[in-house]
Amino acid sequence: MIAEETGKDTALAAAEVGEALLLLRAAASNTETATTTGGAAVVAIVSDDSAPLVGPLRHAVPALLAGATLVIKPSPRAPSPAFALAELTADSDFPGGVFNVLHGDLAAIEGLCAASDVSLLLFAGDPALGARVATIATRHGKPFVD
């Protein structure tokens, strides 16, 4: 699905899945919960299509380990990996509402930044898009980590 949506070579897409599995296995064996979430209760993660699986997971795993609820806003060009993660969390008996997916473009990011329940916005992807997302977050007074 990564190769189909992003146009990546199949080997590169498989390497991303392998990297995601390594990240999850490391998290499962690590008892530390060091995170950049700073105790945020609801964390939004915006990602582009450059690494649609492992990009958001790099932020999601530490946030989940710290007890945060997540809202993942994937790229409209590669939403399937985020939905696959949501399905896996449901199949793994995560509590309802802990892992959420939001579709949309910049208007969805505006909505996340305006939402009072979202206490932190994280970004995974291209620095140019990250700068645009940071501008939106700053305008709404939302803490932002790239």
Q: At what angle do helices 127-139 and 106-114 cross, to 10 degrees?
A: 40
Q: What is the pLDDT of residue 93?
A: 86
Domain total in the chain: 1
Q: Can you give the CATH number for the domain in which 19 is found?
A: 3.40.605.10
pTM of this structure: 0.90
Total Cβ atoms within 10 A of residue 76? 13
Per the listing, tokens 């579709």 go with 103
pLDDT in tens, 118-138: 999 999 999 999 999 999 999
| 29 Cβ neighbours under 8 A, 6+ residues apart | none
Task: Show the tokens assigned to 66.
Answer: 């710290």
Domain that holds residue 132: 2-145
The CA distance from 14 to 6, in Å, is 13
Share of the chain above pLDDT 90, in %: 83
pLDDT at 31 over 60: no
pLDDT at 44 over 60: yes
pLDDT at 90 over 80: yes
The CA distance from 20 to 11, in Å, is 14
The CA distance from 113 to 133, in Å, is 9
In angstroms, the Cα distances linking 4 to 24, 56, 79, 121, 129 are 23, 18, 11, 28, 22
Q: What is the pLDDT of residue 118?
A: 95
pLDDT in tens, 72-89: 999 999 999 999 999 999
- Parallel, antiparallel or unpaired: strands 120-124 and 99-101: unpaired
The CA distance from 43 to 112, in Å, is 10
Q: What is the pLDDT of residue 30?
A: 74
Q: What integer best gives the mean pLDDT of the chain?
A: 92
